[in-house]
A = this chain, B = another copy of it.
Amino acid sequence: MKLYVIGLGPGDPAQITPKAMAAIAQSDVIAGYTVYIALINQWIENKKILSTPMKQEIDRCRMAIEEAVKGKTVSMVCSGDAGVYGMAGLIYELSAAYPPIEIEVIPGVTAACSGAAVLGAPLMHDFAVISLSDLLTPWTRIEERLHSAARADFVICLYNPSSKKRSDYLEKACRIIMEHQSPNTVCGYVKHIGREGQTSMILSLKELATAQTDMFTTVYIGNSQTKVVEGKMVTPRGYRT
């Protein structure tokens, strides 16, 4: 009957909004990737759990939609915000093939924002969010976006900077950005934002090119004005101060 698509934020339960918690509490069924379900384990006893491993997003969404069609209240949970590389779009696209259900997206704190808060204030001016995953997007398109964003002096936030199969993608991205920005551009990254083992680092673009990152890392490349202030990565609000 009703399907909530919920962003849980960075992972720390104190950063899940009351609106998201209320929707979860009302739900009969909770769907999501195993790791995200684990984050809210203590609040979902006695609920039906539809948990599927990574990369089975389409199956997971169909299962959730089918439960809602059957009359259940369902929460599909995502990390960060459900609308930024999350499940919101896929739910809408797939639901068109089923009898109508009510869908509500409940936004959360996306990694761009939660990671930025750890580093300081890197996103204070115009920014571009780019995923380096080429599973669904041609790499040439990703390269074009990196060139465009760096040339126009956007702060750049990278999701999915690398994985085992794509171990050199972050380096390739940094080399592209260095065609337009100084190798000394202030950059940063945060691993496991809001979770156990959170680590962060502020470094130059040249150093970032050889940094070790993974799928759970969010990367920030400053604009030409970004600086280090008292150990934090800070982008000024504009070009006139």
Contacts and interface: CB of A to CB of B under 8 A. Distances in A.
Contact of A107 (B15, B129, B153, B230): B15
Interface string A82-100: 1111101111110110001
Contacts of A131: 125-126
Nearest to A142: B126
A202 interface: no
A17 B107 CA distance: 12
A107 B116 contact: yes
A56 to B, nearest CB: 14
Nearest to A141: B239
User: 7 closest pairs, A vs B, by CB?
Assistant: A136-B238, A89-B124, A89-B121, A88-B121, A148-B152, A105-B117, A14-B19
A81 B109 CA distance: 8
Given A19-B12, A93-B236, A117 B88 contact: yes
Given A18-B18, A126-B131, 10 more contacts: A81-B109, A84-B113, A85-B124, A88-B116, A89-B121, A89-B124, A136-B237, A141-B152, A141-B153, A145-B152
Interface in A44-91: 81-86, 88-91
B7 A14 contact: no
Nearest to A133: B238
Nearest to A19: B14
A151 B153 contact: no
B125 A230 contact: no
